[in-house]
Amino acid sequence: MTSSFYIAWHYVIFNRVRSVTLVACITLIAFLPFALQLLLAESQQLLQSRATSTPLLLGARGSALDLVMNSLYFDDEVPERISMLAADEIADTGLGYAIPLYVRFLARNYPIVATSIDYFDFRGLAIADGRMFTLLGESVIGADVAEDYGLAPGDSIVSSPETLFDLAGIYPLKMTITGVLERSHTPDDRAVFVDLKTAWVIEGLGHGHEDLGKTNDSSVILKRTEDKVIANAKLLQYTQITTDNIDSFHFHGDASVYPVTAVLAVPHDAKSATLLRGRYLDNTQYHIVRPTEVIEGLLESIFRIKTVIDSVIAIVGLATVLAIILVFALSVRLRQRELSTIFKLGCSRMTAVKLIAAEIAFIVLASSVISTGLLAIIGANAETLVRMLIFR
C-alpha cells in the first residue's frame, strides 16, 4: 500500500491543477455547513446570554426587534425616541428601578451609549484602568475600543457628525476618556459610554459658548435687551467640555422630556415584572418587552432560514459529490492508456484500484486538513466574526 501512496502522490502532484480544484470543491462542501453551524451556535449563545440577563425593556411602540437590538447589542437601527419621563414613570411604580439608554450617536464607528451609572452595576462592568465618568463630556470606553485605537485614560474621542453638511445638525464633541472597562466579551466591549447629558450636548439640546455679557465683538450680538442678549451664528460654541468652560454649558427646556431610546426596567422580583408588564399592555405610547422572547422569535426565524440554507448546501453538496465522482470516473477513462500500461507491466486490478483509492485519499485528506484548519480558525474567532458579520 505504501507504494500505491507513493505513485498516487506523484500523480496528484503532477496533475496539480486538477487536484487543487478537487480539494477546493470538497473543502467548501465540508467546511461551509460546519462553519455556518459554528457561527449560528455562537450568535445564538451571544444573543441569548445578553437577552437572558436583561429582564424588561421599555421603548416606543414599534419594532420590538429594533428596540432590543439597539438597546442590548447597540445596533445602528435607532428605534423611535421616548422621553425621560418614561424612566421616571417606571421608578414611580416602585416595582423596580429604571436605567435610561440613549444609543444613537457614534464615535469612530463605535456606538456612544448614554446611560446612568446604574447600568454598570446592572451589567457587572468594572473599570480596568482609570475611573468612571463623573463630569459632563467625560467618557468610559470598552476594551475593544481601547485596543483597536490604542486609547487610554487621558486620551479623547470625538463623536461623529450625523450629517456633514447640515449646519443645524449634530456637531462633533471631543470627549475626554476617564476609564477603560474590563473585557466582558459582550457588546459593552465595543461601546463608548457617556452620561445622558453628554449625549444631549452632542444632540445640541445643551451647549456651551462664550459669555455674551463679556464679549467685545459687537458683530456677534443680534439684539440686546435688559434681561436678554440674542446672538447670531458667529457666536463661538465649545466643541470640547473643559474645566474652564464647563460652567458655560447649559440646557434649554425641561430635561424630563429629553429623548432616550429605551429604558431598562429591572423589577424587584417576578411578581413585580408581571405587574410592570401589565401596566403597559394597553399603553398606546410605549410597550414593554422581554428581550428573551424577542430573541427567541429572532432565533426561530434564523433557524428556519438555516434549515433552508442547510437544504441548499445539501443539494449543492450532493451535486458536487456527483460531479467529483464523474471527474474520477472520467479520469479513469482518460487514463485507459496508463492503466493499460500498468496492466501490461504486471499490475493487478486490485493494485490499480488501490492506486486510484490512494489518490482519492490524498484529495480527501487534504480537504479534511484544510477544512479542519479553517473550522479551527472560525471556532477560535467565532465571537469576533459574529460581531463583525451580525452585530455590526
Partner 1 sequence: MIDIEALEFHYPQGEFSLSIPHMVVAQGEKVAVIGPSGSGKTTLLNLIAGISKPHQGKVAVADQTVSSLSDAKRRDFRITRIGFVFQDFELLDYLNVLDNILHPYRITHALNLNSEVPQRAIALADELGIGDKLKRFSAELSQGEKQRAAICRALLPQPQLILADEPTGNLDPRNKGRILDLLFENVASSNATLLAVTHDHELLPRFDRVIDFLDFRNEAVA
- Between CA 255 and CA 8 the distance in angstroms is 78
358 by Cβ neighbours in 10 Å (0-12 / 13-18 / 19+) ranks as buried
Q: Does 357 bind partner 1 (CB under 8 A)?
A: no
| Identity of the residue, 6 or 251, whose beta carbon is nearer to partner 1 in the bound complex | 6
SS3 209: strand
Cell triple for residue 249? Answer: 454649558
Which residue in 7, 135, 235, 313 binds partner 1 (CB under 8 A)? 7
3-state helix, strand, coil in the chain (%, to 5): 55, 20, 30
Near partner 1 by CB under 8 A, which window of 44-52, 162-170, 309-317, 346-354? 346-354
Closest approach of Cβ 20 to partner 1, in Å?
A: 15
Q: Does 351 bind partner 1 (CB under 8 A)?
A: yes
Which residue in 3, 45, 301, 311 binds partner 1 (CB under 8 A)? 3
Near partner 1 by CB under 8 A, which window of 1-9, 46-54, 133-141, 217-225? 1-9
Which residue in 214, 223, 250, 344 binds partner 1 (CB under 8 A)? 344
Q: Does 346 bind partner 1 (CB under 8 A)?
A: yes
- Between CA 301 and CA 289 the distance in angstroms is 18
Rg of the chain on CA atoms, in Å: 31
Q: Does 342 bind partner 1 (CB under 8 A)?
A: yes
| Identity of the residue, 168 or 345, whose beta carbon is nearer to partner 1 in the bound complex | 345
| Identity of the residue, 4 or 159, whose beta carbon is nearer to partner 1 in the bound complex | 4
Tell me how crowded residue 280 is: count the other CB atoms within 10 A of its CB.
19
Q: Do 196 and 115 form a contact (C-beta atoms < 8 A)?
A: yes
Near partner 1 by CB under 8 A, which window of 8-16, 63-71, 216-224, 277-285? 8-16
Q: Does 6 bind partner 1 (CB under 8 A)?
A: yes
| Identity of the residue, 211 or 338, whose beta carbon is nearer to partner 1 in the bound complex | 338
| Identity of the residue, 13 or 365, whose beta carbon is nearer to partner 1 in the bound complex | 13
Q: Does 331 bind partner 1 (CB under 8 A)?
A: no
Which residue in 304, 348, 380, 388 binds partner 1 (CB under 8 A)? 348
Tell me how crowded residue 75 is: count the other CB atoms within 10 A of its CB.
20
Closest approach of Cβ 328 to partner 1, in Å?
A: 16
- Tell me which DSSP letter residue 160 carries: P
265 by Cβ neighbours in 10 Å (0-12 / 13-18 / 19+) ranks as buried
DSSP sequence for 225-261: -SS-EEE-TTSPBPSB--TTTGGG-EE-S-GGG-EES
SS3 390: coil
Closest approach of Cβ 4 to partner 1, in Å?
A: 8
Q: Do 382 and 42 form a contact (C-beta atoms < 8 A)?
A: yes
Q: Does 341 bind partner 1 (CB under 8 A)?
A: yes
According to CB under 8 A, which residues from 11 to 50 bind partner 1? 11, 13-15
| Identity of the residue, 342 or 364, whose beta carbon is nearer to partner 1 in the bound complex | 342
Q: Which long-range contacts does 369-373 make (Cβ < 8 Å, 24+ apart)?
A: 370/23, 370/27, 370/31, 371/27, 371/30, 371/31, 371/34
Binding-site size for partner 1 (CB under 8 A) equals 19
Closest approach of Cβ 18 to partner 1, in Å?
A: 11
DSSP sequence for 38-69: HHHHHHHHHHHHHHHT--EEEEESS-HHHHHH
Our measurement of the distance from residue 21's CA atom to the centroid of its chain's CA atoms, rounded to an integer in Å, reads 35
| Identity of the residue, 233 or 345, whose beta carbon is nearer to partner 1 in the bound complex | 345
Q: Does 347 bind partner 1 (CB under 8 A)?
A: yes
Closest approach of Cβ 356 to partner 1, in Å?
A: 13
Closest approach of Cβ 362 to partner 1, in Å?
A: 13
Side-chain half-sphere exposure of 116, counting CA atoms within 13 A: 14
According to CB under 8 A, which residues from 158 to 187 bind partner 1? none
* Residues contributing to the site for partner 1 (CB under 8 A): 3, 6-7, 10-11, 13-15, 338, 341-348, 351, 355
